[in-house]
Amino acid sequence: MNTKTAAVVLVATLAMAGAGAGIFLLTKSAPEGYSVDTELQIFGNANGDWKLDGDDVDFLNSIISGSSDRTTYADANQDGVVDASDVEQVQAVIDRTAEYLWLVDGDGNVKKIGLDISRIGAEYYSNTELMCILRLQDKVVAVDNAPYQTRDFYFGEERGDSITNLVNMNAPNYEFVAGLDLDILLTFSYAGTEAKQEMLQDVDVIYLGMYRPDVLEPEKSEYIQGILKAGYIFDRVERAEAYVERLLDIRDEIASISGGIEEEDKVKVLMTNYSNSYFSDDSITDWSIYTKIDPQVQALLLAGGYPVAKDILTEEQYNGGPDRTLYGTKVGSEPIVTADIDFIFCHCVKYTYGGTVVTSTPDHGYGTGDGTGMDAAHALAAGRPLTDFVEDGNIYIMAGDFRNGATGGILHAAYIAKAIYPDEFADFDAVAIHNEYVSEWLGVSDYDVSTDGVFISPAV
């Protein structure tokens, strides 16, 4: 496919090693007042709901006849007018015969995506898992280095052998990627997506929005938008809608329990990281603290915990900085050890988006059933002198899969809830929900997360 991209001015920064800022000016702006909220951001969604269906055809006809005003996403083919050709385009999308789709991506860029897709490239865990959820394993031909390590889990051994390693997609080898003849590339982050499109002219490069979920209000997130948009891109609409519905059901179940916990009874929790931290190396004096916009703190809030980041950071920092791009920050040890903290959760990343391996991080996730490393990491963290203010059993090492997978932090909240409120969540089975995710959604059979994978230490 050789499709064109149209985008707003993108000024993006990425809080990870090796990522820089870039400004890319192209030709078409997203609709004025762009925000992720209550309408599916696919052009042709004339009536502004979460679907493209016959109601949009009817609404388009009412616009054409003059009985209704033009709406934000009415111009389905983006030719500047709303007419019969837009009705034809929407009907083609509904009938699954459309050749392309115009939409707004996860960062507000207007893009035209070709729908003749047989070769998919997926960056990082969230996009790889989304392709499994949508039952597109047979079309994925390449993933970056992190999900490549567990390719046999995601795709099966036979299919896994044919998957190509994209390696470092934070700084891609464009000649190598171009040679893979991809139809579409799903990017992990909003930062750098348009630069990749510039370099890969024959590939549709799109940031769906998987990097930025909203655990408390998923309906308002670009993450949920991304799942639904992927349903239309890959002809998996019903599957995408069913997955979103299941996520919201789990969110509601957790909230129905945590919502009954009084404010004064909430435990105080530090959400931090293990990799390259004081927990793994006591020569490191600064501690990482995640902010409210990061799914880890959002997962804690859904679980009913109180984030001590709110007391340690400034209000602006806690809320994500002036431009809401601050997912975490470093602080000295003094405000940590003098704070009132009941629990500590340490996020782990073994394989980074930059293609590197963090040697201080224990093996974990779907690719190992040996919890020795995670247990040793827990013992090391609990034994540090500066963690004496927290009981050893209240320090948890958490797999990076919860933050970087396709559950948008919902599964993370499930495990946190079980850990911090065992009585309140006594009848809530996080492991069963996790196993359902693996079998029913990822499509992996004969796998038990409690024995075949390692996700949290100590176990809940």
Specify the pLDDT at position 35.
Answer: 40
* 304-321 mean pLDDT: 96
- Residues in the chain, total: 460
* 172-183 mean pLDDT: 98
* 64-68 mean pLDDT: 97
pLDDT bracket for residue 34 (50, 70, 90): very low
Q: What is the pLDDT of residues 409-457, one digit of tens each?
A: 999 999 999 999 999 999 999 999 999 999 999 999 999 999 999 999 9
pLDDT bracket for residue 8 (50, 70, 90): very low
Specify the pLDDT at position 19.
Answer: 35
Question: 59, 68 in Cβ contact below 8 A?
Answer: yes
pLDDT exceeds 50 at position 48: yes
Query: Which DSSP letter does residue 273 get?
Result: E
pLDDT exceeds 50 at position 12: no
pLDDT exceeds 90 at position 31: no
Whole-angstrom CA distances from 61 to 41, 103, 349 are 20, 21, 51
The 10 Å Cβ neighbour count of residue 447 is: 15
Backbone angles phi, psi at 385, to 5 degrees: -55, -35
* 382-388 mean pLDDT: 92
Q: What is the pLDDT of residues 391-404, one digit of tens each?
A: 989 999 999 999 99
* 168-185 mean pLDDT: 97
User: What domains can be seen in the chain, in order of their start residue?
Assistant: 261-457 (3.40.50.1980)
Query: Which DSSP letter does residue 220 get?
Result: G
Percent of the chain with pLDDT over 90: 87
Q: Pick the more confident residue, 14 or 275.
A: 275
Specify the pLDDT at position 37.
Answer: 52
Question: 199, 175 in Cβ contact below 8 A?
Answer: no
* 30-44 mean pLDDT: 65
Could you give the angle at the alpha carbon of 416 between the alpha carbons of 348 and 445, nearest 5°?
75
Report the amino acid identity of residue 363: D
Report the amino acid identity of residue 86: D
The mean pLDDT value of the chain amounts to: 91
pLDDT exceeds 50 at position 142: yes
Q: Which of 449, 360, 364, 368 is nearest to 400 (CA)?
A: 364
